[in-house]
Structure 1
Amino acid sequence: MNTIKFIQTFANPALDNFFILFTNLGGETLGVIFAIYFLWFKDKRYGYKLAFGLSFSLLINNFIKIIVNSPRPIGTKGIRSLAVNTATGTSFPSGHSQGNAATFTSLFLQFKTKKVLLISIIMMILIPISRLYLGVHWPIDVVCGSIFGIIAVLISNFIYEQAIKNNIPYLYLILSIILLLSLILFRSSDYIKAIGGFISISLGYYIDTKYIKYNPNSTSKNNVIKLFLGLFGLLIVLSLCSFIIPKGYIRDFVKYFSLGIWASCIAPLIFMKLKLSN
């Protein structure tokens, strides 16, 4: 508590806006943007690698949240809490810190440059601080969240490399079955969203590897068209799920599954059918 209070002694409107901006960039937000960029435009193999790392980290985070069920500092006397809409689920570990750590650990392991390392260090400091400054997490939440994010990516990368090395693209589908069975015992909105996303990426990866074989290389003009079509499709999928399916666990799963399938499988197939990719 003293750590949060100390950080909040520097509070002012400018810092409020600064940390609200950074906390919204944190979590898996930037990671998803990077993953889609690599999947659609640059390096499909790394795009999947990053997507698996993020979704695996999110699964671990929400599974631990269910088990620990730790309360947040929101409402604690002496602590002010801002941007509470970003604080879903329980407190330990911090999902924003973990998703952020997973994203930038993956990026550094892929590119291994001083520039990427510097940006990764800055982000892995600012995002956890933002969660403390906003009064939505305890210090142990952000520290452990960052550590879990790094570990999750290392494990996910190992599994992904084994799947490629041994030519077993269905490996993630096997893990998906196990995750579906886990819903018998463990269930929360965020955990179901994470499972929906992971299964969709697993299925999309299998379909693309076996049948589509998408090549992201293209001209600048075609990339602009791909970006427009891809984002428009994501918006349509999001709108349909939000307006047609009643709020609840089913919508949580279907929405994240549909978004993942569109990004990893349907959009690349459309790009190829329209000859927007080499």
Structure 2
Amino acid sequence: MDFMLDILKWIQTIRTTFLTEVFTSITILAEEYVAIAVFCIVFWCLNKKWGYRIGFAYLLSGVTNNAIKEVFQVERPFVRDNELVPIRVETATGYSFPSGHTQGISALSTALATIIRKKWFTALSIILVLLVAFSRMYLGVHTIADVSVGAIFGFVCVIDANWMFDYVEKKQKAEWLLFLFIPIALGLIWLPSDDYIKAAGTIISFLIGYVLDQKYIKYEAKSPIGKQIIKFVVGMTILIGIKILGQKLLGETMVADFIRYFLIGAWMTIGAPLLFRAMPSRK
């Protein structure tokens, strides 16, 4: 284990102002705001089926990542060795293993790659995952083991998510996905953490939204370009409002976080589609 900390110490010696700005920007690409924006563009404006697969893979990865963190409880490298000076430490929440940023970008990129199916995009996705992984090490918040396992788990979560969606679509039993509530709920009881609760709240409302859409809403993403722009701007404005106002009105307890992220997931998959369906389109 010491050699992994030694790697981070060496990386720390090559830091420069320019490189810090570069790798800080790269690590931001793996944060939830980017994933939410990508999902909303795809789901609201391009293709509902693609959106559900991307969103489910990413959220499954998030729940899995935070559950594993709570099981292993590996402290951050800068906690284990005070010679390490982390950068942007406010984003290094919870335990260290596996890397949430790396696993998240791995899941998001892999999900997109399975849809786009172009060699250039697959290559770009691999490069992005590697860059994010190195950025987490450069910033001193993860070891090589953290990012390596995170990248692998992100990939595996996409395979699992696609298999589950293929199965329920073939059987035409969308409601079967609701059985996932059982392990998620057990995680809320046995593995409570701020990040797990946020991920759990979102995936629960996401799955409810998926079932309701298959049975009743039947949202269609296709619209004229003008309406697509309005949909995205209005949808994201309300989503950000839910996030900000929810924090101010509900506070920052674990229960409040669950409710806030449940509402965010519900807005993305239920509220917004109902609103967009009711909006008139100009011919």
Alignment equivalent of 2:86, drawn from 76, 81, 89: 81
Aligned match of 1:191: 196
**Corresponding residue for residue 250 of structure 1:** 255
Q: Give the Cα–Cα distance (whole angstroms) in 1 for the partners of residues 282 and 22 of structure 2.
A: 39
Question: Which residue is 1:62 aligned to?
Answer: 66
Structure 1 CA distance for aligned equivalents of residues 178 and 210 of structure 2: 9
Equivalent pairs: percent with the same residue?
35
> 1:194-233 residue pairs with structure 2 within 5 A?
194-233=199-238
Q: 2:57 aligns with which of 53, 59, 81?
A: 53
Q: Normalising by structure 2, what TM-score?
A: 0.94
- 2:61–2:153 CA contact under 8 A, matched in 1: yes
Q: Which residue of 2 aligns with 1:267?
A: 272
Q: Retained in 2: the 8 A contact 1:39–1:47?
A: yes
> 1:61, 1:43 → 2: CA distance?
27
**Alpha-carbon distance in 2 for matches of 1:277, 1:209:** 27
Q: Contact 2:213/2:219 (CA < 8 Å) preserved in 1?
A: yes
Contact 1:215 1:277 in 2 (8 A): no
Code of the residue aligned with 1:241 in structure 2: it is G
Distance in 1 (CA, whole Å) between partners of 2:276 and 2:153 is: 36
The structural deviation recorded for 1:184 is 2.2
How far does residue 29 in structure 1 lie from its aligned partner after superposition?
Answer: 4.0
The one-character-per-residue Cα deviations of 1:46-84 (angstroms, maximum 9, x if unpaired) are 100000000000111000000000010125243221000
Please state how far the C-alpha of 1:216 moved relative to its aligned partner. 0.6
User: CA-to-partner distance for each residue in 1:220-275, whole Å, 9 max, x for gaps?
Assistant: 11112111210121122112211111221111101111111101111010011113
**Superposition pairs for residues 2-151 of structure 1, below 5 Å?**
2-75=6-79, 76-151=81-156
1:25–1:255 Cα change, 3 Å: same
Alpha-carbon separation, structure 1, partners of 2:127 and 2:15: 20
Query: TM-score, structure 1 length as denominator?
Result: 0.96
The 10-residue stretch of structure 1 (199-208 or 28-37) with the greater mean CA deviation from structure 2 = 28-37
Matched residues, number: 278
Amino acid at match of 2:6: N
1: CA distance, partners of 2:280 / 2:172: 28
Whole-angstrom CA distance in 2 between matches of 1:171 and 1:265: 18
CA contact under 8 A between 1:31 and 1:50: conserved in structure 2? no
One-letter code aligned to 1:221: G
